[in-house]
């Protein structure tokens, strides 16, 4: 019945689904004050709440309903308490409350915390739709800690820590990424400070042996883990890690876990844990979205006759990607990337210094691969931006860093007042960084969802912020296909974006940025750029962006940007395996060391002795393009709106999709 109702609901569509939901929920009405909280009778549970979840498939702005009765002030209602101090009245151990109010300094719950803590303390399973950055971590930690202590009151006293065992885990919290797991671990250890609960983390990217040694030595009651590492530990009988008395199981960012392919690992973990028929455990599932695969996962995890669905997204709440300003900076080629970033940073820093109300410049810059993150980090650390009086710090996070380095950099960026975090997509979801003023995406995002998740790092919880997307003009037709329906507006104000390196003389302002990047290039070894060249040739191409386009853009960067006499070489076998053989402009051949690809100049010493007289940035600029019609389609108010001109900012008109489009929409 569970499965068939979901499938039927998907066929009916959201409009019919809302009607069915209305019948099931009977007398309810929309309330704009807070998000909804639904408690269902046993008869309704078999169909109605799951149908209610199903009709919200992939929707962030579905209608929210609450009971007609004003339940905030009723005993047993939605807001039994909304102050942490009052949790004592609901039976929460005073040591937990003391950690929250005194050590962590929290007084009042956020809406998400009030909507989740109160029902979860009653012991029922919970499926909650909640975004990151809303305080949901405490929303599941407090009920989990209280449940564990209630089942074994001796764990409330600190002296019991020395009796903890790796074979007696009481609660497991799963997170999709190492960074988020470590972040949850920090909060959990603060909460456990005055109790006997021992918190451990087990994540990929760290030594399994070290994590096991720590658990065996110190014991473990609360284990926070990533799915792959937990599956590895539980499936190995030699680890000694077990959970025979598991009281609680939490999945945070469930949609993200499924997105990155952890479905099988989660199923294996569930098989390795004690059966709920033998050990009664509480399941708390949190997800920012409720797609079909999350509904199916919930079906296999929660007690379908005893669970509650909580929606914490208000009907009046506009999603971040629709609220924050988003700008497209169309550049001539990839060699314009870094000067454009410098110009954006300069303008934001100057604005923050002049306007006390403006946010300090704190930006996350996303690149699509690790090689470009490493290269950009080295380049920007050699610019004046890193050493300027405004105190901008620069950090990077990518998959090649150890977990300790990633945690250190994330914590450093989180604490910094003004900083740049150069990152791959490991921080695109789940990570909570305060006061991020800018999200800058460089190059084509892999898809629309990832673009939205990246933009969501700024403007959190109603705070101000802005997004930038830096694309070569050849990439714009492909971007239109990947990013439909987004309010991205073209921005022609950046003087560095429209300059064609190697043509006209630049203005003094433009020269400043290109010269600064040119100097930084000389301090970075050529191997760094060769790795970037190789990585970007491996990106996903598309109908409107093909391999020869990327080769041309990369060659421009190598020759016009870095001043190399020829592009990096690509080994014949590599070109053949990647389907790149025969691409015009590709430099097929070997270095002397047959490493695969590099410029003729080869050695790092040749690169560092770059001749300033041959500096391509000294005389190869043009004045900014005066193209007021870029992407206007008539009104020009929104990026991608259609008017009389069916061409959009690309000289490759023969490759632009000419199919009729909805002229009522003015989005990307």
Residue 35 lies in a domain: no
Number of domains observed in the structure of the chain: 2
Average pLDDT of span 544-555? 92
Beta bridge partners of 127: 285, 309
Could you tell me which residue, 401 or 59, shows the higher pLDDT?
A: 401
What token pair was written down for 611?
A: 């001749």
pLDDT at 610: 38
Do 368 and 475 belong to one domain? Answer: yes
Cα(177)–Cα(56) distance, rounded to whole angstroms? 25
Q: Where are the beta strands (DSSP E) in 371-496?
A: 393-397, 419-423, 438-442, 466-472, 488-490
Whether residues 234 and 164 share a domain: the answer is yes
Q: In percent, how much of the chain has pLDDT > 70?
A: 74
Handedness of CA 369, 374, 375, 379 (dihedral sign): positive
pLDDT greater than 90 at residue 22: no
CA distance 171 to 266: 15
The answer to whether residues 306 and 332 belong to one domain is: no
Tell me, yes or no, whether 10 lies in a domain.
no
552 domain residue, yes or no: no
Residue 542 domain-assigned?
A: no
* CA 48 to chain CA mean position, Å: 32
Half-sphere exposure of 598 (CA within 13 A, CB side): 18
* 574 vs 596: which has the higher pLDDT: 574
- Residue 363, phi then psi, degrees to nearest 5: -120, 145
Rounded to whole angstroms, how far apart are CA atoms 183 and 426?
14
Residue 15 lies in a domain: no
Sign of the torsion formed by the C-alpha atoms of 546, 551, 557 and 559: negative
Identify which of 541, 202, 535, 150 has the alpha carbon closest to the alpha carbon of residue 370. 535
Q: Which residue has the higher pLDDT, 228 or 321?
A: 228
Q: What is the DSSP letter of 360?
A: P
**pTM above threshold 0.85:** no
Average pLDDT over residues 221-225: 96
Asked if residue 142 lies in contact with residue 88, where contact means CB atoms within 8 angstroms, the answer is no
pLDDT above 60 for 603: no
Which of 266, 287, 311 delimits the end of a domain?
Answer: 311
Domain finish residue from 283, 311, 339: 311
Handedness of CA 308, 306, 80, 110 (dihedral sign): negative
DSSP 302: S
532 phi and psi, to 5 degrees? -65, -45
Contact 88, 42 (CB under 8 A): no
Which of 328, 535, 559 is closest to 442 using CA atoms? Answer: 328
Instruction: Say if CB 573 and CB 594 are below 8 A apart.
Output: no
In this structure, the answer to whether residues 337 and 189 fall within a common structural domain is no
Tens of pLDDT, residues 620-636: 333 344 444 444 444 44
pLDDT single digits (tens) 80-100 = 688 999 999 999 999 999 999
The per-residue pLDDT for 317 is: 67
Q: From CA 84, how far away is CA 92, in angstroms rounded?
A: 10
Q: Tell me, what CATH number does 352's domain have?
A: 3.40.50.300
* pLDDT score of 660 more than 90: no
The strand pair at 438-442 and 362-366 is best described as parallel
Look at 102 and 30; give whichever has higher pLDDT: 102
- Residue bearing the bigger pLDDT, 137 or 40: 137
pLDDT (0 to 100) of residue 179: 84
Whether the Cβ atoms of residue 316 and residue 483 lie closer than 8 Å to each other: no
- Please tell me the distance from the alpha carbon of residue 655 to that of residue 549, in angstroms, as a whole number: 12
The pLDDT, as a whole number, for residue 327 is 97
Judge whether 597 and 538 are in contact, CB under 8 Å: no
Q: Is residue 97 part of a domain?
A: yes
- Evaluate whether residue 43 is within a structural domain: no
589: alpha, beta or left? (left if phi > 0; alpha if psi -120 to 50): left
Instruction: Say if residue 65's pLDDT is above 60.
Output: no
373 found inside a domain: yes
In a shared domain, residues 229 and 341: no
| CA nearest neighbour of 648 among 635, 659, 633 | 633
Specify whether the CB–CB gap between 211 and 202 falls below 8 A.
Answer: yes
- Shared-domain flag, residues 372 and 512: yes
More confident residue, 659 or 250: 250
> Is 91 exposed, middle or buried, given 0-12, 13-18 or 19+ CB atoms closer than 10 A?
exposed
Other C-beta atoms closer than 10 Å to the C-beta of 121 total 19
Binning the chain into helix, strand and coil, the percentages to the nearest 5 are 45, 10, 45
End-to-end CA distance of the chain: 40
Across 57-71, 86-100, 652-666, the highest mean pLDDT is recorded for 86-100
Strand segments, DSSP code E, in 435-547 are 438-442, 466-472, 488-490
User: What pLDDT score does 592 carry?
Assistant: 57
Asked if 199 and 290 sit in the same domain, the reply is yes
Rounded to whole angstroms, the Cα distance separating 477 from 332 reads: 14
Q: What are the strands, taking DSSP E only, across 111-189?
A: 125-129, 171-174
| Between 113 and 208, the higher pLDDT residue | 113
230 and 326 both lie in a single domain? no
How much is the pLDDT for 390?
60
* 299 and 325 together in one domain: no
Q: Who's near 582: CB < 8 A, 6+ residues apart? A: none
> CA 239, CA 653: separation in Å to the nearest integer?
61
Mean pLDDT throughout 229-246? 92
For residues 148-163, average pLDDT: 93
Confidence tier at 146 by pLDDT (50, 70, 90): very high
Examine the domain organization and report whether 192 and 336 are in the same domain. Answer: no
Taking CA 234 as the corner, what is the angle to CA 229 and CA 235, rounded to the nearest 5 degrees?
100
Count of CB atoms situated within 10 Å of the CB of 661: 15
Q: Which domain holds residue 305?
A: 80-311
Domain end marker among 311, 338, 358? 311
398 and 511 both lie in a single domain: yes
CA distances in angstroms from 129 to 63, 289, 419, 481, listed in the order given: 13, 6, 31, 29
Residue 444 structure tokens: 């084509």
Q: What is the pLDDT of residues 560-572, one digit of tens each?
A: 999 999 999 999 9
Length of the chain: 668
Model confidence over 379-438: pLDDT tens digits? 999 998 887 666 899 999 998 888 788 889 998 999 999 999 999 988 877 677 889 999
Compute the mean pLDDT over every residue in the chain, rounded to the nearest whole number: 78
Alpha helix ranges (H) inside 30-91: 42-45, 48-54
| C-alpha angle 235-241-245 in degrees, rounded to nearest 5 | 105
Q: How far apart are CA 150 and CA 171, in angstroms?
A: 13
Residues 252 and 334 in one domain: no
């Amino acid at each position: 019945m569970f499965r068939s109702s979901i499938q039927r609901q998907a066929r009916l569509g959201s409009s019919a689904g809302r009607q069915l939901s209305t019948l099931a929920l009977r007398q309810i009405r929309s309330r704009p004050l807070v998000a909804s909280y639904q408690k269902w009778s046993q008869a309704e549970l078999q169909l109605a709440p799951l149908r209610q979840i199903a009709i919200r498939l992939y929707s962030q702005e579905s209608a929210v309903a609450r009971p007609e009765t004003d339940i905030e002030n009723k005993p047993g209602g939605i807001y039994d308490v909304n102050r942490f101090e009052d949790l004592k009245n609901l039976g929460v151990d005073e040591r937990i409350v003391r950690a929250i109010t005194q050590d962590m300094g929290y007084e009042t719950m956020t809406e998400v915390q009030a909507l989740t803590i109160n029902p979860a303390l009653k012991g029922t399973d919970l499926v909650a739709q909640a975004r990151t950055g809303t305080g949901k971590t405490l929303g599941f930690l407090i009920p989990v800690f209280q449940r564990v202590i209630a089942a074994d009151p001796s764990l409330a006293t600190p002296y019991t820590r020395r009796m903890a065992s790796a074979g007696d885990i009481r609660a497991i919290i799963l997170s999709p990424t190492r960074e988020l797991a470590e972040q949850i671990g920090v909060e959990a250890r603060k909460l456990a400070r005055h109790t006997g609960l021992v918190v451990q983390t087990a994540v990929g990217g760290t030594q399994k042996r070290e994590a096991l040694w720590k658990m065996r030595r110190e014991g473990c009651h609360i284990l926070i883990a990533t799915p792959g590492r937990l599956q590895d530990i539980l499936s190995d009988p030699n680890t000694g890690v077990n959970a025979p008395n598991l009281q609680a199981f939490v999945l945070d960012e469930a949609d993200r876990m499924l997105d990155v392919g952890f479905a099988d690992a989660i199923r294996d973990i569930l098989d390795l844990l004690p059966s709920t028929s033998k050990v009664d455990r509480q399941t708390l599932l949190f997800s920012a979205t409720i797609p079909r695969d999350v509904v199916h996962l919930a079906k296999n995890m929660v007690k379908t006759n005893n669970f509650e669905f909580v929606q914490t997204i208000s009907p009046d709440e506009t999603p971040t990607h629709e609220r924050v300003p988003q700008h497209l900076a169309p550049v001539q080629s990839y060699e314009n990337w870094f000067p454009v970033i410098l110009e954006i940073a300069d303008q934001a820093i100057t604005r923050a210094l002049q306007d006390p109300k403006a946010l300090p410049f704190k930006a996350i810059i996303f690149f699509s691969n690790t090689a470009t993150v490493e290269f950009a980090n080295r380049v920007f650390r050699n610019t004046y931006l890193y050493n300027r009086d405004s105190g901008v710090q620069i950090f990077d996070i990518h998959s090649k860093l150890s977990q300790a380095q990633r945690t250190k950099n994330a914590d450093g960026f989180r604490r910094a007042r003004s900083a740049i975090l150069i990152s791959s997509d490991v921080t695109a979801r789940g990570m909570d960084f305060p006061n991020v003023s800018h999200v800058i995406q460089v190059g084509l995002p892999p898809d629309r969802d990832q673009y939205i998740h990246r933009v969501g790092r700024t403007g959190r919880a109603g705070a101000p912020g802005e997004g930038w997307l830096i694309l070569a003009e050849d990439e714009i037709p492909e971007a239109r296909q990947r990013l439909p329906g987004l309010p991205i507006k073209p921005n022609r104000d950046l003087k560095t974006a429209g300059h064609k390196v190697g043509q006209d003389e630049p203005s003094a302002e433009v020269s400043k940025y290109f010269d600064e990047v040119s100097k930084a290039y000389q301090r970075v070894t050529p191997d760094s750029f060769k790795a970037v060249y190789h990585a970007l040739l491996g990106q996903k191409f598309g109908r409107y962006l093909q391999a020869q386009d990327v080769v041309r853009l990369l060659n421009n960067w190598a020759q016009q940007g870095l001043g190399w006499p020829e592009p990096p070489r690509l080994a014949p076998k590599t070109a053949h395996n990647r389907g790149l053989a025969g691409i015009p402009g590709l430099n097929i051949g070997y270095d002397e060391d047959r490493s695969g690809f590099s410029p003729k100049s080869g050695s790092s010493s040749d690169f560092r002795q770059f001749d300033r007289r041959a500096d391509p940035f000294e005389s190869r600029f043009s004045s900014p393009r005066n193209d007021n019609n870029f992407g206007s389609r008539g009104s020009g108010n929104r990026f991608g709106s259609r008017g009389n001109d069916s061409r959009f900012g690309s000289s490759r008109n023969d490759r632009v999709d000419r199919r009729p489009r909805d002229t009522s929409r003015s989005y990307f």
